[in-house]
Amino acid sequence: ENKKTQGIPWVSVKERMPEDDGGFSPLCLVYYTYTGGYGQSITSIGYDWWDSDKDEWTKHDNSEVTHWCYMDDIPAPVTQEN
């Protein structure tokens, strides 16, 4: 697991997709891969909403997103208080 993504409760799109929250699509953190301008594979993290009526992400192609998690499930950063 990448150190930058440790502690994030990722869910594979092969397992399940996000569920609506009272009729609203919840905001999700998404892990996605796409092909760049020179044909190279690029992996990144961003945000998106799952539209359960259309069975698609609103900002990314379904084929790009490999994992997701609800934004509310992401642990807050550890900070030191002075």
d(CA 82, CA 69): 32
Mean pLDDT of 20-47: 92
Choose the weakest-confidence range: 23-27, 44-48, 69-73: 23-27
| Tens-digit pLDDT profile for residues 53-80 | 899 999 999 999 999 999 999 988 778 7
Q: How far is CA 70 from CA 50, 79, 82, in A?
A: 10, 22, 31
> Does an H or E element contain 43, and which?
strand 41-51
